[in-house]
A = this chain, B = another copy of it.
Amino acid sequence: MIRFECDYTEGAHARIMQRLLETNEEQTPGYGMDEHCDKARDYIRKACGAEKADIHFLVGGTQTNTTIIASILRPHQGAVAAITGHIAVHETGAIEAIGHKVLTVPSDDGKIQADQVKKIYDAHWNDVNHEHMVQPGLVYISHPTENGTTYSRGELEALSKVCRACGLPLVMDGARLGYGLAASGSDLSLSDIARLCDVFYIGGTKVGALFGEAVVITNDALKKDFRYSIKQHGGMLAKGRLLGIQFETLFEDGLYYEISQHAVDMAMRIREAFTKKGYPLRYDSATNQQFPILPDSILEKLSAKYAYSFWEKTDAAHSAVRFCTSWATKRENVEMLVKDIAALP
């Protein structure tokens, strides 16, 4: 079985494994106070062009979203998110469990736009009963989204502008950020993101690391006591240096970008194969996740050899499915898939 069902099927990039081995016997203080974490912080600050940003390392995405949101909102506030957003759908109510409503806005492609934020904000404040309703308190977006789509620089600038006008921190879930930066046609850089968002994170789990998400806080007002929030939500890894070492490796000389580019290149090969064959795509994704719509009979055939994720039925006989590539995707597996797609009836 060749697995394309998600982007976390393997361990870590060989250089990370090597570095973990080399440093294994070092003695360091715990909880992210070690030199590896400090170095990784420096590399990331540089990569973001954000010298004064606070950088924190957490283990996984749900935990990171929870920690960030808990740290920002007052109890009567909610997080504005696309109806397809990860926090709205796939975190077992982790945001509600810390007391906050996810205020969803409709989205066809996983993105939300500046005017939607303005609209939900105005709707709240113009409602005579607004004190009886959850107040929008921050805006959460994913880049790339759960559907593989990405924000352009113009879109993010518009979002950021509205958010700042409304006093709503803009939070970016970057669990797959590398694949967004490497997306074909993307004009959005890490320093754009650092400039336009208030908090965001750089995903390691899906981009080369065993695990790990690097939170970047650029808004000074949101920095205070963040480590308390990490600890309270179970994200303060005892051997924090494991996170430092991994991000150090990813960011010391551009490995993060390089392996992200590989994943996107592989995804583009798969995309071409499906479209060449005439299969439509559920979303127009320029990143590592591809969502072809295929006849169920064809899908059954493919599933003998390839693992993919079911996404949704599109009609009685067709389904959208997800094929993911990653930093670890082997070129030969992709070529085999491409060939098999071409050979489909």
Q: State the A residues within 8 Å of B (CB).
A: 1-3, 5-6, 8-12, 14, 17, 20-21, 23-31, 59-63, 66, 70-71, 74-76, 78, 89-102, 128-129, 131-135, 205-206, 210-211, 225, 227-229, 231-239, 242, 310, 328
Contact = CB atoms under 8 A, between A and B. Distances in A.
A134 B96 contact: yes
Contact of A211 (B3, B28, B237): B237
Contacts of A31: 131
Contact of A227 (B8, B59, B131, B205): B131
Given A75-B93, A91-B231, 17 more contacts: A5-B29, A6-B30, A9-B28, A11-B26, A60-B237, A61-B238, A75-B97, A76-B93, A90-B132, A92-B133, A93-B100, A94-B233, A97-B232, A131-B228, A131-B236, A205-B238, A211-B237
A60 to B, nearest CB: 6
A76 to B, nearest CB: 4
Interface centre among A98, A232, A237 (most CB of B within 10 A): A232
A234 B60 contact: yes
A91 B238 contact: no
Contacts of A29: 3, 5, 9
Main secondary structure of the interface of A (DSSP, over half): loop
B75 A229 contact: yes
Contact of A237 (B59, B132, B225, B229): B59
Given A59-B237, A206-B238, A96 B78 contact: yes
A151 B342 CA distance: 56
A129 B322 CA distance: 14
Nearest to A129: B90
A9 B24 contact: no
Given A6-B30, A99-B97, A92 B242 contact: no
Given A17-B20, A236-B62, A76 B92 contact: yes
Contacts of A210: 20, 239, 242
A169 to B, nearest CB: 15
A328 to B, nearest CB: 7
Nearest to A225: B76
Interface centre among A26, A133, A233 (most CB of B within 10 A): A233
6 contacts: A2-B27, A9-B30, A11-B242, A12-B24, A97-B232, A234-B234
